[in-house]
Amino acid sequence: MAEETIFSKIIRGEIPANIVFQDETVTAFRDISPQAPTHILIIPNKLIPTVNDVTAEDEQVLGHLFVVAAKIAQQEGIAEDGYRLVMNCNKHGGQEVFHIHMHLLGGKPLGPLLSQ
Ligand code: DGP
């Protein structure tokens, strides 16, 4: 059984977060340490620790993350200029919170994908 993270508490409203969207499948909230003018985390309400734990059962949930990302990008006014979606996995990917999350970053030109 995977261990819950702080994100499960945010989903349940047990700790404060700036939630921009929530339905029965996903929750989206502003990152506590924004790396761009818009930096929102979109997460499945179901706990999946890393991308390595994804199964075929999760296809609908993960597809919904993209639908919500597109909707939020419109709401934030960044859809036309563009944005970046990032999902980190484990140590080399720089994952810090083990409840998968899609970073939605935008609001300025973001530069190259990877630092050297
Ligand atoms: P990653 O490195 O991909 O695991 O990104 C984790 C992100 O989660 C990081 O950008 C900071 C953010 N974060 C961590 N704890 C909290 C929190 O308690 N609230 C919010 N809003 N964001 C958090």
Q: What is the CATH number of the domain that holds 25?
A: 3.30.428.10
Q: Is the pLDDT of residue 116 over 70?
A: no
What is the value of pTM for the model shown?
A: 0.97
Decide if 113 is inside a domain: no
Q: Does 52 reside within a domain?
A: no
Q: Report the mean per-residue pLDDT for the chain.
A: 97
Phi-psi sector, 66: left (phi>0), alpha (psi -120 to 50), beta = alpha
* Residue 34, domain extent: 6-40+62-106
Q: For a pLDDT cut of 70, what percent of the chain falls above it?
A: 99
**Which ligand 1 atom is at minimum distance from the Cα of 101?**
3
- Please identify which of the residues 92, 99, 101, 103 carries the catalytic annotation: 101
Ligand 1 and 91: CB distance under 6 A: no
Locate 59 and state its tokens.
């296809």
Q: Which of 39-43, 81-85, 111-115 has the lowest mean pLDDT?
A: 111-115
All residues at 6 or more sequence positions from 27 whose CB lies less than 8 Å from its CB, including other chains: 10, 11, 19, 21, 42, 43, 45
Note whether residue 75 is domain-resident. Answer: yes
In a domain, 47, yes or no: no
109 CB within 6 A, ligand 1: no
- Within a domain: 21: yes
Percentage above 90 pLDDT, the chain = 96
The answer to whether the CB of 96 is under 6 A from ligand 1 is yes
pLDDT for 64-89, tens place per residue? 999 999 999 999 999 999 999 999 99
Say yes or no to pLDDT of 114 above 90: no
Query: Would you call 101 a catalytic residue per the annotation?
Result: yes
pLDDT category at 1 given cuts 50, 70, 90 is: confident
Q: Is residue 20 part of a domain?
A: yes
Q: Is the CB of residue 6 below 6 angstroms from any atom belonging to ligand 1?
A: yes
Q: How many domains does the chain have?
A: 1
pLDDT number for residue 37: 98
